[in-house]
Amino acid sequence: MRIVQARLTQRSVRNRWAALLLILPAVALFTFVIASSAVMGFGYSLTNWSGMMSEMRFIGFANYERLFGDPVFYTAVANTLFITLIVTVLQNTCGILLAVLVNRKGLRGRNFFRALFFIPSLLSIIVIGYTWIYILNPQMGTLHYILTLFGVTKGFIHYSVLINRFAALLTIAMTMIWQYSGYSMVIYLAGLQGISPDLYESASIDGASPARQFLHVTLPLLMPSITINVFLTMIGCLKCFEQVYVMTGGGPGNATETIGTYIYNAAFSGGQMAFGTAISTVLFLGILVLAIIQVKFFRSREVDL
């Protein structure tokens, strides 16, 4: 028995080393590209490089001092965190509910609904942004037309929701939720299909209601999928640029500025590439810290069977 266990242990060790050797080239290349880019970016952020001229002068941490002294930066951070919180919570909630819905065996046309919910995530962000701008147009948009049919436009819509800061941020967040809930649904659907039906039968025999089965069986076993989805959603929201740029451009003024648009306006529109690189470096460090905290928090709650 001991000889068999020793051989199994040796085989397991060999398999692990073989797996490591197979992924080592990809990991090394990825690490080199990311690490070299991060180091070069940090180096550029310590200069006055404009992106137009090859000449640059070392100015130390002047860009970072300017960044942390700029009130627009704190507005961009607040807006980005607001969008991230709203989208991460609601997108994953909708993704789980949609996955549970289309995973039901008695549902007719399950494949159709799965494709229907997933299609928006395949569309261009630019197209989605302009589509929603047209829908929300207070004068000739689709929403205005529908409300007119029900006679509720008087005193209901006076101006575009994209003018008010809170309404604009909420609209951008809802647009992102509408587009990517189907993407989250696919990951949750894969997690649901990996849960053994025997667990639900045992819970039903013990007298657990469908709600209790969802809370005490489905959710704990979905934690790996939740970890992945929250991780992807959070990073995507922290880097969001296209939706904001298309729908509001960061305006009016800087009311809906996010870190993504702040970087664009500084580096490309303003011709201050070194300052934009400094913002990107801060964003990278912020995403890294939040990602580590989030993964550790959710990994500690995953259930192994």
Scan for tokens 């073989």, then name that residue.
18
pLDDT band for 4, please (50, 70, 90 cuts): very low
d(CA 216, CA 9): 35
pLDDT band for 278, please (50, 70, 90 cuts): very high
What percent of the chain clears pLDDT 70, i.e. is strictly above it? 91
- List C-alpha distances in Å: 282 to 29, 84, 259, 296: 24, 17, 10, 21
State in Å, rounded, how far the first CA of the chain is from the last one: 26
Over residues 200-230, the pLDDT tens digits come to 888 888 888 888 888 888 888 888 899 999 9
Over residues 142-195, the pLDDT tens digits come to 877 777 777 766 555 556 778 888 989 999 999 999 999 999 999 999 988 888
pLDDT value at residue 15:
74
Global confidence as pTM: 0.85
d(CA 36, CA 34): 6
| Residue 18 in this model has a pLDDT that exceeds 90 | no
d(CA 303, CA 305): 7
